[in-house]
Amino acid sequence: MPEVLKAPLVVEFPFTRSLGPVQSAFLTGLRERVVLGVKTTDGRTLVPPVEYDPVTAEEIRELVEVAPTGTVTTWAWNPGPRRGQPLATPFAWALVRLDGADTALLHALDVPGPDAVHTGLRVRVRWAEDRTGAITDIACFEPYDHEGEPARPTDHTGEFEDRITGIVAPARLDYTYSPGRAQSAYITALSEQRTVGERCPSCRKVYVPPRGACPTCGVPTAEQVEVGPRGTVTTFCIVNIKAKNLDIEVPYVYAHIALDGAGLALHGRIGGIPYDKVRMGLRVEPVWTEGARYPDHYRPTGEPDADYDTYKELL
Amino acid sequence: MSKEPVAVVGIGQTKHVAARRDVSIAGLVREAAQRALDDAESTWADIDAVVIGKAPDFFEGVMMPELYLADALGAVGKPMLRVHTAGSVGGSTALVAANLVAARVHGTVLTLAFEKQSESNAMWGLSLPIPFQQPLLAGAGGFFAPHVRAYMRRSGAPDTIGSLVAYKDRRNALKNPYAHLHEHDITLEKVQASPMLWDPIRYSETCPSSDGACAMILTDRAGAARSPRPPAWMLGGAMRSEPTLFAGKDAVSPQAGKDCAADVYRQAGISDPRRDIDAVEMYVPFSWYEPMWLENLGFAAEGEGWKLTESGVTELDGDLPVNMSGGVLSTNPIGASGMIRFAEAALQVRGQAGEHQVDGARRVLGHAYGGGSQFFSMWLVGARPPES
């Protein structure tokens, strides 16, 4: 059995967030070294603040300032920090109830080892040097054994100069992608410039690319069948706008191509003919470029056009 | 035991726009939900469960947004669930909520769908570069345009039809205060002169990218009896799916769409949809899908749908108005778009559609599809309760 392919897949995007009134005040506050919470209908103080009361569902907007000191309510040790986490050295993930708050905030706690942290530990905010209006403006928490006045939340307007109204929240997911047995065989055959699909034992249709099963009959497919290399343009559109990340001059023709013997059309670009001369039924063949996994495009073979009835089920 | 009849007693939408930078996602959904509650003259305490829908998580990058939105939707201490069926999700979300009422699991359910497209890029979210695979050579319009050409070939429709649909929908949108696009100076000539993006689809024949939310309050007979305004009654509702690509797929008129409509009509006792249904809100992201869906939904014989469009039957004052609200062509917060179709159908039979009201609309179809014509969801609502 041929090798099943695998490759890393990184999905990454800088999402933007409109903050709304409450998160806007909270994050701008962090930039100014002020931690804000919000009062619920029943008088509790939530830090971090939310826009709607978790109990009554009422809109809540009464902001209060709480202390930058607090108490660890629970924690977990993180022996191997990953990229993008608050600290590069091992640290504790801690829930910290700030003085004046009724709920706890999740953040990193910088301590030398798990023996140095316990529930009830007194801590304080370590502010980041460069603050932009983000949760990372709190670099982390650190132990702080000073006993002071028990802090009470104090009213705050939430007004700041130059308020943050939106943030960029980059997200990244790291996968290992495998196309599976059937597609691996298809891709391996492509490297020899052959197109190999799989025939369904029940309906006899040939799937290109193969999926390892027939979605109509619900049975596994195994019988390999080479199709093409020639085929028929069954339908198409003329692309007049340049797509991002695609180095193709517009206009070009994006077509559905039914390779001879295939049970459904695959997609490709048509070249070697003026874009406005492409038509349904045009007979085409693949054009390969050195080292490419897929045909660069398909070009006319010069055969007479296929009759509509021969491909009307393959649009 | 027969099903509990399901009534729509509250409808709320945000004013759909390109970017709602003034609100968080929570603030956006809250606005629609609060308006639906106000319409029903209900409070959060009247809601027994919340069913929420949106398109893929990658569209905003908030994984499992329903967790974060529980506070904003008054769902704490109540059942809450999220539905996902790509672009049709707004419709299927409403149907999941309706089924909870029909099955007498809950008396009153808040259902809501949203998209805040400005927080991301839907095109990116739909075309992640998968290793070993050939990149898609065209955008969303490029994906659908070959199907439109196939329809034109099959039906012999003249190439003017697409522009007629866009011109109609954009004019209808002018009568809908919640619609995103309000092109006051729209003319047929302008639509026809707009750039051909993915030939045969012109720029003006494509949908915008919107931020918006839509919410409905669904309730049982007892709840409907307390409704301050006329309820809309669900007369039939169904969902169907099929693969995006398979050997034998009819992308022009997918079997799943036909089966879904047939199921709805059977439930509602509709034998001739063209005669028995007064208006349709259908999911038309590219204008040519109007004639295509007219055929798929049984309003015209195969190859004849474009004749209804061309002869003015689908105009607001026509015999079978289609997309009175301006449709997806005028407003497209993707995840919410299906629910907007369902809600606009309900507004019509309640007589609450304002300037885009169709006089005497008694039975109106709401339709949604998504995922490369993979998912279909539809409901038929009426001004009178179903006959049991």
Per-residue pLDDT tens digits of chain A, which is 315 residues long: 568 999 999 999 999 999 999 999 999 999 999 999 999 999 999 999 999 999 999 999 999 999 999 999 999 999 999 988 999 999 999 999 999 999 999 999 999 999 999 999 999 999 999 999 999 999 999 999 877 666 788 999 999 999 999 999 999 999 999 999 999 999 999 999 999 999 999 999 999 999 999 999 999 999 999 999 999 999 999 999 887 667 788 999 999 999 999 999 999 999 999 999 999 999 999 999 988 899 999 999 999 999 999 999 999
Taking each helix axis from N to C end, the angle separating B89-102 and B334-350, rounded to the nearest 10 degrees, works out to: 50
Q: Which residue from B minimizes the CA distance to A239?
A: B198
Query: In a mutagenesis test of the A interface, which of B58, B68, B115, B134 is the best target, namely the one with the most A β-carbons within 10 Å?
Result: B134
Q: Using one digit for the tens of pLDDT, what is the confidence trace for A226-243?
A: 999 999 999 999 999 887
Mean confidence (pLDDT) of chain B: 95
CATH annotation of A228-315: 2.40.50
The answer to whether B157 faces chain A, any CB pair under 8 Å, is: no
Q: Give alpha helix (H) positions in B40-115.
A: 65-68, 89-102
| Interface contact flag, A177 B131, Cβ < 8 Å | yes
> Is CATH 3.40.47.10 the right assignment for the domain spanning B7-122+208-382?
yes
Determine which of A52, A177, A186, A296 to mutate to test the interface with B (most B C-beta atoms within 10 Å). Answer: A52
The beta-carbon neighbor of A240 closest among B76, B153, B197 is B197
Q: How is residue B185 written in tokens?
A: 């100076």
Judge contact between B361 and B80, C-beta under 8 A.
Answer: no
d(CA B22, CA A165): 8
Q: How far apart are the first and last CA of chain A?
A: 33
- Say yes or no for a CB contact (<8 Å) between B247 and A203: yes
Q: Do B73 and A255 touch (CB under 8 A)?
A: no
> Strand pairing of A63-66 and A45-46?
unpaired
- HSE at residue A167, side-chain half, CA atoms within 13 A, is 22
Q: Which positions 274-333 of B are in contact with A (Cβ < 8 Å)?
A: none
Using a CB–CB cutoff of 8 Å, tell me whether B18 touches chain A: no
Predicted pLDDT of residue B388: 64
A133: left (phi over 0), alpha (psi -120 to 50) or beta: left
Query: Domain coordinates of chain A in residue numbers?
Result: 7-172, 192-227, 228-315
Q: What is the rounded CA–CA span in Å between residue A224 and residue B11?
A: 54
Length of chain A: 315
Can you state the angle between helices B255-268 and B289-296, rounded to 10 degrees? 60
- What's residue B51's pLDDT? 98
Whether cis (ω within 30° of 0) applies to the bond prior to B386 is: no
Q: What ranges do the domains of chain B cover? A: 7-122+208-382
CB contact under 8 A, B130 and A9: yes
Residues in chain B where the model's pLDDT stays below 70: 1, 140, 388
Question: Nearest-CA distance from B176 to chain A in Å?
Answer: 26
pLDDT of the residue at B1: 63
Q: What is the distance, to the nearest Å, from the Cα of residue A184 to the centroid of all Cα atoms in its chain?
A: 24
Contact A107, A137 (CB under 8 A): no
- pTM of the entire structure? 0.96
Which of A187, A252, A264 has its CB closest to that of B132?
A: A187
**Angle of helix B161-173 versus helix B289-296 axis, rounded to 10:** 90
CB–CB of B87/B371 below 8 Å? Answer: yes
Q: Evaluate whether B202 touches B195 at the Cβ level (below 8 Å).
A: yes
